[in-house]
Amino acid sequence: MKKRLATAGLILIAAGATAMAGPERIEFPKGYQESFSNYMNAERQNGKQLARFYANDVAVKGAKAGGEMPDGSIVIMEVYKAKMDKDGKPVRSKNLDRLVRGDLAAVMVKQKGAGWGKDYSGEKMNVGDWEFAGFKADGTRLDKDFATCRSCHSELKESSFLFSYEHLAK
């Protein structure tokens, strides 16, 4: 009987580990604006959004040390809609010629965990042990396929799969 219970327990643990593969393993990082470093702000390439980038201490220390960032690194990109004028065109500030920030559209989280990359196959899908997740402004999970994110970041192996690595490493 004890053997059956132990086997059943192992099966439940294995099933739970499988269920947590993918973006579901990442929780919304409550309080990140106060506890993480805001290391970069930028306009997105689509010309209709702005982004604010944050990183936890593990990621900052890892990037400053150079090379691959350690497990436990978390990088966040807040995505804001640009304010629009009455004609539906993005508003730019007069003095700086930059998009004017509107509402928060999403909080995208990239987190690194030991062995997380084993769940993905194919060269375009492999971004080391990084996982992607997205959340709405209220912290609820976005229902999104992150294959496009993984594919785009997969080309950045030399910069720990981050477009903003050089800014984080400063």
pTM of the model: 0.82
- Round to whole Å and give the CA distance between 50 and 82: 7
Confidence at residue 138, expressed as pLDDT on a 0 to 100 scale: 94
Identity at 162, one-letter amino acid code:
L
Classify residue 66 by its DSSP letter.
-
Q: Which residues contact 71 (CB under 8 A, 6 or more apart)?
A: 112, 113, 114, 129
Confidence at residue 159, expressed as pLDDT on a 0 to 100 scale: 87
Q: Can you say whether the dihedral through the CA atoms of 31, 163, 100, 96 is positive or negative?
A: positive
Per-residue confidence of the chain (170 residues) as pLDDT tens digits?
444 444 444 333 333 333 455 789 999 999 999 999 999 999 998 889 999 999 999 999 999 999 789 999 999 999 999 999 999 999 999 988 899 999 999 999 999 999 998 877 776 567 889 999 999 999 999 988 888 888 888 888 888 889 999 999 99
Identity at 28, one-letter amino acid code:
F
Structural domains of the chain ordered from first start = 26-168 (3.50.70.20)
- Round to whole Å and give the CA distance between 147 and 145: 6
